[in-house]
Amino acid sequence: MKQKRSIVLITAFVTISFLSFAQKGIKGLVNAEKQFAFFTASHTVKEGFLNYMDSAGVIFRQGKDINALETYQKQKPGPGILSWEPAFAVVSASGDLGATTGPYEFRTKAGDTVIGRGGFSSIWRINSKGEWKNLADLGISYNGIYPVVQQVKEIALPKAKQPGLSYEEVLLLDKKLNTAIQEKNVGGWMQYISTDSWLNIDGQKPVTGMLQITEALQKAPGSLLLSSKNGEMSAAKDLAYIYGAVINGIKKENYLRVWIYRNNQWLAILQTIKW
């Protein structure tokens, strides 16, 4: 029975691996995230991140972005089990850049009860070998159980009739959104939020849509400061990600934001903010 189960798991892993390499669009992106999760849960957190992070990929620690591979190479492998699944995914019309988010769980070891829950947000890019690699990964924690993901909500951006802005121009929009959040200017951020936008805030379950996002952002600390730092844009100029620092008094954290160009408008489709 154990041998049969092992064969089934190996077959599933090989299938997911093939799909992630073969597909460039939304399905390839979702399968890459699922493959990352499957591999990590069946190996170690260290092995998972070393295998799927891009050489330039970053993770975040107390307001700083640090190289993921360099960090995990120095880390000792532990018995902790990290498992997750995508709940939302968006990919550029050019198929080279995308983002995913969803719930995760952490256990001390296999078979133990869950001791940590939260949400992850990942940026993915196809490299020169045709492999999906993780460019940036930021997680938040919260109490409570996230509903089982029945189906991944997917957005595959259509080819725009006219290209969007340059990365530098999107960076300016990002700074304007940061200012609106700091000032709790509802009108300032509503113009960048859509009905299918997602927001992950540390300590809270993910929220979607204009009203829920507005309610969550209005609870932001009054002393909050957000500063944009770095990011990248897709070849189709219809999707960009930007990350930066978040300062809340003496506490330093990070944010990760995904912008999309849709219906002649730039929207913040996914935001993950730790404060």
Cα separation, 204 vs 225, in Å, equals 19
pLDDT tens track for 91-143: 999 999 999 999 999 999 887 899 999 999 999 999 989 999 999 999 999 99
pTM exceeds 0.85 for this model: yes
**Residue 89 — left, alpha, or beta (φ > 0 → left; ψ -120 to 50 → alpha)?**
beta
Give the pLDDT band (50/70/90) at residue 76.
confident
CA distances from 154 to 88, 90, 92, 236 (A): 6, 6, 12, 18
Query: Domains plus CATH for the chain?
Result: 2-149 (3.10.450.50), 167-273 (3.10.450.50)
CA distances from 92 to 105, 155, 156 (A): 28, 9, 7
**248: helix, coil or strand?**
strand
pLDDT tens track for 2-61: 444 444 444 444 444 444 444 789 999 999 999 999 999 999 999 999 999 999 999 999
**Under 8 Å between Cβ of 256 and 138:** yes
